[in-house]
Structure 1
Amino acid sequence: MRIRLTAGETVLDAALDDNATARDFASLLPLTLQKNDLFKREKYGPLPRSLAAGGEPRSSYRIGHIVYWSPGPDTAVFYDHEGQFIPDPGIVVLGEIDSGADAFKKYDGTVDVTIEAIG
């Protein structure tokens, strides 16, 4: 499934992974989340509820990953990478932004992000 993230004038397209957690996330769309900054590497914020298990937990990420902090209910978008690993229980990758995730650097503090299905 293809999704679009909109924050202010920033519009980014992404693809969701094919796993149970990502499908459950898609069932919540469209939604607008208030995302806060964490470590100048990610924008995170809570979902209205926790997501279903089914995605494989990981301890690493790439710029552009859209992730779920299991057991939730927080999601995050990584826009920078400082070489750190994610502690247990890890993150579940929901999808990945096609390009331009570093645009989130310009939003200090919090930003509202609308996420919707496209196509």
Structure 2
Amino acid sequence: MNLRLTIDGHQLDATLIDSTAARDLAELLPLTLAMEDFHQTERIAYPPRKLDTTGAPAASTPKAGDLAYYAPWGNLAFFYRDGDHSPGLVILGRLTEPGDIDRLATAQRIRIEDSA
């Protein structure tokens, strides 16, 4: 599934992988969420409910540009730097254009919608 992310008025494209958690996120779209920084590595936001992570790996190592879900806290994570291997982290997708990663570092609000 292709997504359109609108971050502080700038549109970016992303692609979701085929997983239970990614499909569950897609069912919540469109979403507009406030974002905050976490460890100068990612911007996080909270969807209205926890996602179904059935079948997800127990841990993941995120790369800059990854869109992920941190199951223990129930937050979405948008990585603008590579992250550490993390139990409970589920990769959902990735930004299409690597040059767009810098926009994530200061993002305050994000709108996520299907771009189909």
Q: Would the TM-score normalized by the shorter structure come out above 0.5?
A: yes
**CA apart distance, 1:63:** 0.7
Question: What is the CA–CA distance in structure 2 between the aligned matches of 1:19 and 1:63, rounded to whole Å?
Answer: 20
Question: What is the CA–CA distance in structure 1 between the aligned matches of 2:26 and 2:93, rounded to whole Å?
Answer: 11
When the two structures are superposed, what TM-score results if normalisation uses the length of structure 2?
0.88
Counterpart residue number, 1:95: 93
In angstroms, what is the RMSD of aligned CA positions? 1.6
Contact kept? 1:51, 1:72, Cα under 8 Å = no
**CA displacement, residues 59-87 of structure 1 (integer Å, 9 cap, x when unaligned):** 31111110000144201100112x6332x
What residue ranges of structure 1 are gaps of 5+ in the alignment?
A: none
Question: What is the CA–CA distance in structure 1 between the aligned matches of 2:78 and 2:96, rounded to whole Å?
Answer: 12
Map of 1:99-110 to 2, 5 A cutoff? 99=97, 100-105=100-105, 107=106
Counterpart residue number, 1:47: 47
Question: What is the CA–CA distance in structure 1 between the aligned matches of 2:51 and 2:89, rounded to whole Å?
Answer: 12
Contact kept? 1:30, 1:115, Cα under 8 Å = yes
Indicate how the Cα distance of structure 1 residues 26 and 32 shifts in structure 2: closer, same or farther if over 3 A, else same. Answer: same
**CA apart distance, 1:41:** 1.1
Counterpart residue number, 1:56: 57
Contact kept? 1:37, 1:43, Cα under 8 Å = yes
Contact kept? 2:4, 2:113, Cα under 8 Å = yes
What fraction of aligned residue pairs are identical, expressed as a percent?
Answer: 35
Question: What is the CA–CA distance in structure 2 between the aligned matches of 1:34 and 1:18, rounded to whole Å?
Answer: 26
Which residue identity lines up with residue 96 of structure 1 in the other structure?
R
User: What SS does structure 2 have at the residue aligned with 1:113?
Assistant: strand
Map of 1:1-119 to 2, 5 A cutoff? 1-54=1-54, 55-81=56-82, 84-86=84-86, 88=87, 90-99=88-97, 100-105=100-105, 107=106, 111-119=108-116
Number of equivalenced pairs: 113
Question: What is the CA–CA distance in structure 1 between the aligned matches of 2:32 and 2:23, rounded to whole Å?
Answer: 17
